[in-house]
Amino acid sequence: MNTISFITANFVAREAGYALTEGWHQGNNATNDYFRPIDTFPKRFEALLKEIKQLGFRSIDLWISHLHWAWATKEHTKIANSLVNKHRLQVANMTGDFGSSRIEFEASCQLANAMEVRLLVGSAPFLRINREEAVALLRDYNLQLALVNRQESSVDQFVSRIGYDNHDILGVAVDTGWFQVLGERLFEALEELAPNLKLVQLKNLQEADPPITCRFDKGLVPIQRCVDKLQELRFNGPVSIEHQPFEKNPGEECRQNLEMLKNWLGTRKVS
């Protein structure tokens, strides 16, 4: 069964009034600043969840800027869990940067456990810095880590980031925006990576510099063919919808993407 989730980082521009003029970090900082205060956290976090649920989603990939390992307290996580349960949502994974030191990486693991999440998705510089300790922490906290592709020009380059052992807990999450680098080779990459594939982030791009995300049927990436390939590979893992414009609310287009994805998956069970 494929779980389809909404990446809460789709709202990267939300707390900046959908007017990001300084790039991703502006939205990241604005989001952390907005959600950090405990006095306003319940109301603000619930509004976020309600907005996502109204789009038709039942599962989220929780971006750490909405609940960050650097500032989340036990009270934050207690409130977050209560609200997730209240609105009958599922936190499929936590997504973001999980730190470059042991202290930061372990704080990420502790937060994931507090949120009853078993999968970390994104980047983890600490894995490169001290692989042995990172793997030990993942096992201690009963977690898996999936690294997301960036600008690697080959599957080998990507796989080298996770290494060649401990693949029961270390894997990959493919962002289909990789098509901009690989072109048609993306479909071969999905096949090669299938044994270690823990999640797919479906993202389309318009031709621009820097790239601009868009609806599934409006850009350069053949999203439906990606979905067809995943079905051919019998991939039953989680699939995330990613759309992160800097200048507008992506909600309605994410809802449309969700409907398209359900249609493409056809009679296959989704949640």
Q: Which two tokens stand for residue 117?
A: 């999440």
**Domain membership of residue 96 as a residue range:** 4-265
- Cβ neighbours for 27, distance < 8 A, ≥ 6 positions apart: 12, 13, 14, 15, 16, 20, 246
**CATH number, domain containing residue 41:** 3.20.20.150
Q: Is the pLDDT of residue 132 over 90?
A: yes
Answer yes or no: is 270 within a domain: no
Q: Is the Cα torsion angle 134, 74, 38, 42 positive or negative in sign?
A: positive
Q: How confident is the model at residue 266 (pLDDT cuts 50, 70, 90)?
A: confident
**Are the beta carbons of 248 and 16 closer than 8 angstroms?**
no
DSSP β-ladder status, 239-241 and 4-7: parallel
In this structure, is residue 214 part of a structural domain? yes
Query: What integer is the mean pLDDT of 64-90?
Result: 99
Please report whether residue 16 resides in a domain.
Answer: yes
pLDDT at 211: 84
pLDDT per position as a tens digit, 208-260: 778 899 999 999 999 999 999 999 999 999 999 999 999 999 999 999 999 99
Residue 140 within a domain: yes
- The alpha carbon dihedral of 145, 146, 148, 149 has a sign of positive
Number of domains in the chain: 1
Assess whether pLDDT exceeds 70 at residue 189: yes
**271 assigned to some structural domain:** no
Task: Decide if 245 is inside a domain.
Answer: yes
The model's pLDDT over 27-60, given as tens digits with 9 standing for 90+, comes to 999 999 999 999 999 999 999 999 999 999 999 9
Residue 210 within a domain: yes
